[in-house]
Every structure is written in C-alpha cells, then in structure tokens.
C-alpha cells in the first residue's frame, strides 16, 4: 500500500463535509470487535468500554491499591513491585539518558515555564465609594497528571502538564503513567522529565485505573482536585465518568492537524507536517485545505515519498485512510470558514503573509504561522502547552494553561450605605421569584440600617 493511495483529494466541498470534515462524537465511537472480545478475558463477559471503565472505577473506589494492582495486571500486564516511583529512580534516569536528550528536555522545560509565567492570573479588588468588589484567584489544592506510555513514551506531555500547574502555584501534583508490560518499568525519558520538572509523586499506573486512583485516592495514591492529560479511549471515558467529583481539562481524543496552504506553499513541508500528526494514531486527522488542486496533488506525491522512511507506517496508513485527506476550496476565504467549522487542535498556515489572515481564525487550539513555525516545534519546545482541545471542542475550549489550575472566588464587601441603597431592589427581585425568606432577609437589613 502506498501513502498516495489512501490520502484522498476532495474537489467537492460538500462531500468532504460528509467525510473527513465530519466530526465524530465520543458517544458515537466505533468500538473494534477485538476490543469487545478482550473484555471476556478481563471481565468474564462481553461488555462495552463504558461499562468496563465503570467497573474499574468502582473497584478502585471500593478496594484502593488492591484493585489498582489487579487492573494493572489484567489489563496492562504489569505487576510492579511498588506503585510509587522514588526520587532516586527519577534522578538516576536523568543521569543515564543521552546528553542530547537531557539538554532537549531541559530546554523544553525552561521554555514552557517561561511562557506560562507571562500569563496574567492575579486577584483583583475594586475598592470604591460603595465598598469593595473583586475576585480572589487561588490555585486548586492538588492536580493529577496522566502521561501516556503506550505505543510511544511522551516525556513532553509530562512537562507540558506539570509545569503550568507549578507556575499556577498548585501545591500538590500527582503523576500517573503506565510502565512497560510485565517486569518492564516506566520509560527512562519520562522518569528523566519528571526529575527535571521536580515531580515528587509519580506512580506506575495506567489506563482508567490511574484516573480512578487520582479521582478517589487509595492507600498509596493521594486524591486530587483536578485531572489533566490525554490518553486512550479508556482514559478519556474514565475522565468523563469521574468529572463532577473532580475537575478535568477536557475529553481529549485523537490528535488532528489542519493545514491551510496556498499555491506557493512547499508541498514537501506540508506533507511533512501532515505525516507528523498521522503517526500518532490511526484515528488521527491530517487534513489539507487549499484552493490549488496542483498543490494537493503535489502534497499527495510527497506523502507517498516521505512515508517510506517512517517507522510507524501502519499507523500512518490507517490515519491517512480513516480521517485524512485534502479539500480543494474555491479560495482561501472558504478554507478559513471550513477551518473554523472544523475547529482543529492544530491549525497551520502555510500561506503568503500569514499574519494578514490571523483575523479570520476563530476556532483553533493553536495557530502556527508560516513555514518556520511548524507544529512539531509546538509539540516540544516552543513554549505553549501541547495539550490542546480536540474533536471540535476548540469551539469552546482552550489549550492547557494556568486557568485550568486555578479557581475564582467572588469577593463582596459592601458598606452600610451601599447595602441600604441596594436592599430594596434585592427584596423586590426575591419577591418576584417567590423566595420570601430572601425577601425577608433583605427587608430586615434595610429596616435596621435605615436612618
């Protein structure tokens, strides 16, 4: 199979909207039959992933560490001697990794921290003639970070999630990530990243059981207030089911990149950017929007050429076949309208003078302007967190940032005269709503404070 045989080019925008530009709800996810069959060996019966996650969460809530170890063994085939990773293990991994990797992780950590330190999140109090009103901005007490460790170890995800929480002032940060199967351990790069970030609590737990452990706590794992980080279908379903008992950053699905390119774009660079996302997941989306059919064909040819040198070809071909392709638009204006409707996680602008088009962008997790601001830099070292909204949620959600780790408390401190002036309006509104105790409380204050 060749890359250009699976990456489709749509010249009919309507057909593209019904195909690669059509959004898929988490509730409508097609579950592979093999996944359902595997539930028999784990649970003794055929069940859907939602029910499997529900049972995992219930087990962890009721039996703590015992259930965590059981699910680790049954689902992920891991049986670590200890769930918790010691600081010595993290520091040893940092010393052992290649110097160039250590340097890259350190640089990424420094840039992520520097970027997020620029975000304003301070409290404010307006002390005026009528007293004071304001907002108290406080960090949440604790955060749980999930770091994927499945088909590819992602030390960058640890840095991109832990460091913004630290900058926001969160006092307790808990990290969970799955080790390798059997007697394998957490990938050294993830351990090294934890050491660089100064992680104090790291646990060998994967999947839905990790989310449950952080949401409800166990003998070993502390309960947290908010959980962040991407994962597989079971992790996402677990976050969905524990939401309300804890906060979450969002329901993060397969990665997606949408490239808008004009006829002057370099097809080699467009193809490279699309392939970089396609290698993540067979359900990843790698989409090109362009008014140039010639460019679309050139990009398809480049994809076929470049994919031959990639290690994860099976995954790439799956992504190219499932949710990827090119759409030939009438002009760039139509391309940007389609992009706003799609609301991509990553929006890459390979167009002449990309700054002149930024006003057209309404919905995107991150915007990458020009050939030198390619998306892979955002994945690792640019500075903003690469944890971004997927599945069209960029219509209302934001990339991971300090606001995910703080909460707002309203401050009301009115003086006597202001309370008197406002009391009658409060009383009348309470009466209109049929809340007589509210009205009585306002009336009593008003009568007591009247001159």
User: What positions carry a catalytic annotation?
Assistant: 345-346
* Three-class DSSP category at 109: helix
The answer to whether the beta carbons of residues 326 and 346 sit under 8 Å apart is no
Q: Compute the Cα dihedral for 226, 230, 233, 235 and give only its sign.
A: negative
Alpha-carbon distance of 271 to 190, in angstroms, equals: 29
- Beta-sheet pairing, 84-85 with 325-328: unpaired
CA 348 to each of CA 97, 277, 298, 369, 430: distance values in angstroms, whole numbers, following the listed order: 33, 12, 18, 6, 52
Bridge partner list, 413: 132
Alpha-carbon distance of 205 to 202, in angstroms, equals: 9
Alpha-carbon distance of 222 to 393, in angstroms, equals: 30
Kindly state the tokens that stand for 120.
């304003």
Judging by beta carbons within 10 Å of its beta carbon (0-12, 13-18, 19+), is residue 258 exposed, middle or buried?
buried
- Main-chain dihedrals φ then ψ at residue 83, nearest 5 degrees: -75, -40
The answer to whether the beta carbons of residues 256 and 276 sit under 8 Å apart is no
The answer to whether the beta carbons of residues 74 and 43 sit under 8 Å apart is no
Judging by beta carbons within 10 Å of its beta carbon (0-12, 13-18, 19+), is residue 109 exposed, middle or buried?
buried
Largest CA distance in the chain: 88
Alpha-carbon distance of 226 to 342, in angstroms, equals: 28
63 contacts: CB under 8 Å, gap ≥ 6: 70
Kindly state the tokens that stand for 12.
């009919």
């Amino acid at each position: 199979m060749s890359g250009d045989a699976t990456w489709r080019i749509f010249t009919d925008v309507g057909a593209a909207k019904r195909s690669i530009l059509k959004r898929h709800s988490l509730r409508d996810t097609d579950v592979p039959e093999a996944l359902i069959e595997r539930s028999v060996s784990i649970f003794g019966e055929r069940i859907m992933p939602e029910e499997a996650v529900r049972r995992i969460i219930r087990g962890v809530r009721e039996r703590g560490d015992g259930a965590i170890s059981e699910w680790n063994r049954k689902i992920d085939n891991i049986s670590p001697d200890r769930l918790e990773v010691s600081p010595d293990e993290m520091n040893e991994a940092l010393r052992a990794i290649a110097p160039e990797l250590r340097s890259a992780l350190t640089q990424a950590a420094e840039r992520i921290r520097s970027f997020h330190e620029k975000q304003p999140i301070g409290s404010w109090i307006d002390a005026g003639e009528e007293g004071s009103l304001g907002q108290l901005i406080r960090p949440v007490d604790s955060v749980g970070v999930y770091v994927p460790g499945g088909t590819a170890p992602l030390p960058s995800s640890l840095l991109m999630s832990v460091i913004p929480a630290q900058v926001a002032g969160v006092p307790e940060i808990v990290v969970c990530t799955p080790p390798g199967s059997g007697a394998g351990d957490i990938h050294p790069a993830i351990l090294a990243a934890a050491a660089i970030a100064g992680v104090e609590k790291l646990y060998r737990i994967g999947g839905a059981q990790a989310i449950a452990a952080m949401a409800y706590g166990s003998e070993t794992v502390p309960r947290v207030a908010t959980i962040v980080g991407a994962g597989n279908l079971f992790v996402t379903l677990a976050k969905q089911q524990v939401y309300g008992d804890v906060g979450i950053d969002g329901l993060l699905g397969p990665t997606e990149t949408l490239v808008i390119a004009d006829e002057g774009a370099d097809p080699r660079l467009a193809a490279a950017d699309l392939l970089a996302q396609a290698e993540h997941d067979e359900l990843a989306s790698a989409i090109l929007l362009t008014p140039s059919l010639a460019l679309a064909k050139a990009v398809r040819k480049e994809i076929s050429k470049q994919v031959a040198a990639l290690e994860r070809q099976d995954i790439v071909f799956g992504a190219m076949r499932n949710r990827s392709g090119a759409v030939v638009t009438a002009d760039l204006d139509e391309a940007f309208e389609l992009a706003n409707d799609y609301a991509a996680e990553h929006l890459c602008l390979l167009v002449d003078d990309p700054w002149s088009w930024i006003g057209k962008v309404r919905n995107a997790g991150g915007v990458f302007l020009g050939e030198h601001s390619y998306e892979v830099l955002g994945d690792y070292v640019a500075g903003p967190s690469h944890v971004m909204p997927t599945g069209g949620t960029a219509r209302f959600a934001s990339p991971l940032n300090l606001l995910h780790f703080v909460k707002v408390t309203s401050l009301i401190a009115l003086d006597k005269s202001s309370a008197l002036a406002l009391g009658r309006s409060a009383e009348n509104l309470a009466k209109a709503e049929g809340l007589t105790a509210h009205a009585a409380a306002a009336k009593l204050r008003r009568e007591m404070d009247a001159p």
